């Protein structure tokens, strides 16, 4: 970090008079209570905004945190007394240390009224009360047929027209990899435009749509039935088909769980509860042995352990998963008019190793296909329910009301209780500890994570990663704005007429500027920070002192960092300057070089004395 010494710049202050904090636009900084993290280890300072975000996703300290959703007949139950809650760890009841209820604030709350800002000016001042939870819509094209993706997209667009004001949402897609296509926002119109854009166009996944598709092998086997194939060659083809199916399933499971691990790392850095509403048509918990085949166990798979591990990582990062079966109400394909049996080799019941006739008790190919479909659907639904259960979410299976499922998931995940306790078992040996929560009274349904890894605080276990620093959390691409420190910002090119009398440094602006190719263009970012969010201390000589970090990070459309600036400012203000700052705000100017293109510019202010953060992400078009 390069220190800079900032002074009061009257010219910059005047830029924001029309939208100044004194005009009543800004409420006092919303000082959020410190989140009770699964770990009590203080993060080391490492202000490299371009580093891969990492965070601890398993509890390894004395304090255990649980978010508990309590419902009665599907509706949230509020105002439950702390004395009614009981937490049991490995069969032994624990003493609750803290208890807090979270429920959405009324939209009519004072101090959250949008105010028109001058052109090119933005603010992290909340338009709505802070959300009790943030929500991710995950559109899973990897595990969902195109026709189901189309229906999901349509119903989500309809939902956006009826969304409750102030609902914080982000949109991710999964096909060949996980992509963020819309960062967290409460602007439903912006989300609707994203859903209507080409970014969410239904498409066949790279895995299931490859040349190694099961449909292709079915055709091959059907064609083979007209030849003089031997029973051994028929069996080899069947095994080949089973191997391809297993390979595709292995790839889908690996890519899906990798995506959830990435989401756990990303969302774990965001304070509070996070809900992933996951639209998917299938996700297997395993592939059973096929007893109709000669080597039926060769293609068998079980993914329960991998699913459980990922679920535990998500839950420890305070991420709950709400799977929604994108297929809606389902009928077996064998009763559809377009149904074709899965092959005809030796299907006449000759007793050989043909696909239709050799299975003892299986009967016709239709019977076999119906049986396989029943098993597959049951396992897919079981895996979705298991992920929901282990992370404290809820599964939506066999329903055509997908937009209603979104609304219910958002409402379900926004009202919850946070309970913490210090484990009585002080032997932190890294083992998994099972959790149970009870609430006195009958008829209540509870959803919460079902356990945690009791790792010792003195070492990081193999399944853990390093913590993320507060400034890195604030700089995550697409993350919700942080509002403990409020500010307005104006973003303009240095070529704007406003700067015609301003002389800028000819040195590269930004730590990565020297590595950028092509002509670079200077962007000027002027900040006006609300001083009520800064923690000024009074020194012996009467000056007011603080230490503040200012960061800019530009990301491209794929979320890759292009350039950044990270500077700390030791502040020392005499009485006169401190009075001016209190009255008009604290001004800061920063510069960043970028090539031509479309970017997202992340801006953050971090008070090192108090640990308070303010952040905002704005669109940035750099013209040629």
Could you read off the pLDDT of 71-101 as tens digits, one per residue? Answer: 998 889 999 999 999 999 999 999 999 999 9
Residue 128 belongs to a domain: no
- For the chain, what percent of residues have pLDDT higher than 90? 38
Residues 169 and 260 in one domain: yes
Task: Please give the helix or strand (H or E) that residue 616 lies within, else none.
Answer: strand 613-622
Task: State which of 29-38, 325-334, 404-413 shows the largest mean pLDDT.
Answer: 404-413
- For the chain, what percent of residues have pLDDT higher than 70? 69
Q: How confident is the model at residue 343 (pLDDT cuts 50, 70, 90)?
A: low
Q: Left if phi > 0, otherwise alpha if psi is -120 to 50, otherwise beta: which for 356?
A: alpha
pLDDT for the residue 207: 61
Residue 109 belongs to a domain: no
Of the given ranges (71-75, 220-224, 310-314, 461-465), which has the lowest mean pLDDT?
Answer: 461-465
Residues 423 and 497 in one domain: no
CATH code (residue 505) = 2.60.40.2550
What gap in Å lies between CA 105 and CA 415, rounded to an integer? Answer: 10
Look at residue 320 and tell me whether its pLDDT is greater than 90: yes
Residues 447 and 475 in one domain: no
Mean pLDDT throughout 58-73? Answer: 78
- Residue 460 vs residue 473, higher pLDDT: 473
Residues 140 and 265 in one domain: yes
Residues 427 and 543 in one domain: no
Domain C-terminal end among 398, 426, 453: 453
Of the given ranges (305-319, 534-548, 591-605), which has the lowest mean pLDDT?
Answer: 305-319
Residues 206 and 339 in one domain: yes
Look at residue 432 and tell me whether its pLDDT is greater than 50: yes
Of the given ranges (106-110, 232-236, 294-298, 383-387), which has the lowest mean pLDDT?
Answer: 294-298
Structure token pair of residue 35? 């989140």
User: Model confidence over 226-272: pLDDT tens digits?
Assistant: 555 555 655 555 555 555 556 677 888 888 888 888 888 788 878 88
Instruction: Please name which of 415, 367, 342, 389 lies closest in space to residue 105, comparing C-alpha atoms.
Output: 415
Residue 43 belongs to a domain: no
Please state the domain count of the chain: 3
E strand spans, 48-145? 64-72, 75-76, 85-89, 92-94, 96-102, 121-123, 133-140
Of the given ranges (167-181, 338-352, 426-440, 580-594), which has the lowest mean pLDDT?
Answer: 338-352
Mean pLDDT throughout 169-190? Answer: 90
What gap in Å lies between CA 122 and CA 615, rounded to an integer? Answer: 11
Residue 436 belongs to a domain: yes
Residues 431 and 326 in one domain: no
List the beta bridge partners of residue 180: 172
Residue 125 belongs to a domain: no
**pTM greater than 0.75 (yes/no):** no
Question: What are the backbone angles phi and psi of residue 43, rounded to the nearest 5°?
Answer: -70, 145
Mean pLDDT throughout 48-53? Answer: 41
Task: State which of 144-148, 307-311, 403-407, 521-525 shows the largest mean pLDDT.
Answer: 521-525
What gap in Å lies between CA 40 and CA 34, rounded to an integer? Answer: 12
Residue 215 belongs to a domain: yes
pLDDT for the residue 351: 33
How distant, in Å, are the alpha carbons of 226, 475, 559 from that of 597? 58, 20, 14
The range of the structural domain enclosing residue 301 comes to 134-412
3-class DSSP state for residue 322? Answer: strand
Contact criterion met (CB below 8 Å) for 44 and 428: no
What gap in Å lies between CA 622 and CA 606, rounded to an integer? Answer: 26
Q: Where are the alpha helices (DSSP H) in 357-469?
A: 365-391, 402-414
What gap in Å lies between CA 404 and CA 401, rounded to an integer? Answer: 5
DSSP 201: -
Residues 397 and 515 in one domain: no
176-181 own/partner pairs: CB under 8 Å, 24+ apart = 176/142, 176/205, 176/206, 176/207, 176/255, 177/255, 177/259, 178/258, 178/259, 178/262, 178/263, 179/558, 180/477, 180/478, 180/559
Instruction: Please name which of 40, 165, 71, 136 lies closest in space to residue 417, comparing C-alpha atoms.
Output: 71
- Residue 328 vs residue 404, higher pLDDT: 404
Residues 496 and 542 in one domain: yes
Mean pLDDT throughout 163-189? Answer: 89
Structure token pair of residue 244? 């391809």
Residue 540 belongs to a domain: yes
Contact criterion met (CB below 8 Å) for 523 and 491: yes
Residues 168 and 219 in one domain: yes
Contact criterion met (CB below 8 Å) for 139 and 155: no
pLDDT for the residue 547: 93
pLDDT for the residue 283: 74
Residues 254 and 168 in one domain: yes
What gap in Å lies between CA 128 and CA 87, rounded to an integer? Answer: 34
pLDDT for the residue 607: 94
Residues 380 and 400 in one domain: yes
Look at residue 152 and tell me whether its pLDDT is greater than 70: yes
Residue 502 belongs to a domain: yes
Look at residue 40 and tell me whether its pLDDT is greater than 70: no
Half-sphere exposure (Cβ direction) of 384: Cα atoms closer than 13 Å:
25
pLDDT for the residue 130: 78
Domain C-terminal end among 412, 443, 462: 412
Instruction: Please name which of 314, 332, 304, 238 lies closest in space to residue 276, comparing C-alpha atoms.
Output: 314
pLDDT for the residue 43: 29
Structure token pair of residue 452? 């945690």
Average pLDDT of the chain is 76
């Amino acid at each position: 970090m390069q220190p800079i010494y900032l002074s009061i710049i009257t010219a910059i202050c005047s830029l924001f008079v029309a939208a100044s904090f004194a005009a009543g636009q800004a409420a006092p900084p919303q000082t959020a209570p410190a989140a009770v993290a699964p770990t009590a280890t203080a993060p080391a300072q490492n202000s490299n905004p371009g580093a891969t975000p990492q965070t601890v996703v398993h509890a390894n300290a004395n304090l255990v945190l649980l978010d508990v959703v309590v419902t009665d007949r599907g509706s949230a139950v509020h105002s439950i007394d702390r004395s009614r809650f009981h937490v049991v760890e490995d069969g032994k009841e624990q003493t609750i240390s803290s208890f807090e209820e979270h429920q959405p604030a009324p939209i009519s709350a004072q101090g959250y009224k949008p105010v028109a800002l001058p052109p090119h000016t933005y603010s992290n001042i909340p338009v709505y009360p802070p959300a009790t939870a943030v929500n991710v819509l995950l559109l899973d094209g990897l595990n969902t047929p195109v026709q189901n993706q189309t229906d999901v997209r349509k119903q989500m667009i309809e939902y956006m027209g009826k969304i409750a004001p102030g609902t914080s949402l982000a949109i991710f897609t999964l096909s060949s990899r996980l992509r963020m296509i819309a960062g967290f926002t409460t602007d439903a119109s912006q989300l609707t435009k994203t859903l209507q854009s080409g970014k969410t166009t239904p498409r066949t996944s790279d895995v299931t749509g490859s040349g190694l598709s099961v449909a292709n092998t079915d055709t091959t086997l059907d064609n083979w039935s007209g030849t003089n194939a031997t029973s051994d060659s028929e069996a080899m083809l069947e095994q080949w088909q089973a191997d391809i199916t297993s390979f595709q399933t292995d790839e889908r499971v690996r890519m899906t769980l990798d995506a959830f691990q990435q989401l756990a790392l990303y969302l774990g850095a965001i304070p509070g509860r996070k809900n992933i509403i996951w639209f998917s048509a299938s996700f297997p918990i395993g592939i059973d042995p096929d007893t109709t085949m000669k080597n039926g166990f060769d293609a068998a798979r079980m993914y329960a352990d991998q699913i459980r591990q990922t679920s535990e990582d998500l839950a420890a990062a305070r991420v709950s998963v709400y799977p929604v079966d994108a297929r809606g109400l389902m009928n077996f394909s064998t009763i559809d008019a377009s149904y074709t049996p899965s092959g005809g080799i030796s299907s006449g019941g000759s007793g050989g190793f043909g696909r239709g006739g050799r299975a003892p008790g299986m009967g016709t190919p239709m019977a076999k296909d119906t049986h396989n479909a029943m098993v597959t659907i049951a396992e897919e639904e079981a895996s979705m329910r298991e992920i929901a259960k282990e992370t404290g979410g809820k599964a939506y299976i066999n329903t055509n009301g997908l937009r209603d499922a979104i609304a219910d998931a958002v409402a379900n995940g926004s009202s919850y209780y946070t309970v913490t306790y210090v484990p009585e078992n002080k032997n932190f040996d890294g083992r998994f500890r099972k959790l149970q929560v009870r609430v006195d009274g009958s008829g209540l349904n509870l959803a919460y994570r079902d356990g945690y890894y009791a790792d010792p605080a003195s070492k990081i276990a193999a399944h853990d990663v390093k913590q993320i620093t507060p400034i890195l959390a604030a700089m995550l691409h697409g993350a919700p704005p942080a509002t403990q420190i409020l500010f307005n910002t104006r973003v303009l090119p240095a070529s704007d007429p406003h700067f015609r009398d301003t002389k800028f440094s000819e040195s590269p602006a930004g730590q990565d500027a020297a590595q950028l190719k092509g002509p670079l263009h200077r962007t000027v970012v002027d900040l006006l920070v609300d001083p009520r969010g800064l923690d000024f201390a009074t020194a012996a000589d009467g000056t007011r002192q603080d230490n503040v970090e200012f960061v800019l990070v530009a990301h491209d459309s794929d979320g890759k960092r292009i350039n950044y600036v990270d500077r700390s400012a030791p502040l020392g203000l005499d009485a006169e300057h401190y009075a001016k700052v209190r009255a008009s705000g604290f001004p800061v100017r920063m510069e960043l070089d970028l090539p031509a293109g479309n970017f997202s510019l992340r801006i953050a202010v971090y008070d090192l004395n108090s640990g308070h953060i303010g952040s905002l992400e704005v669109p940035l078009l750099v013209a040629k």
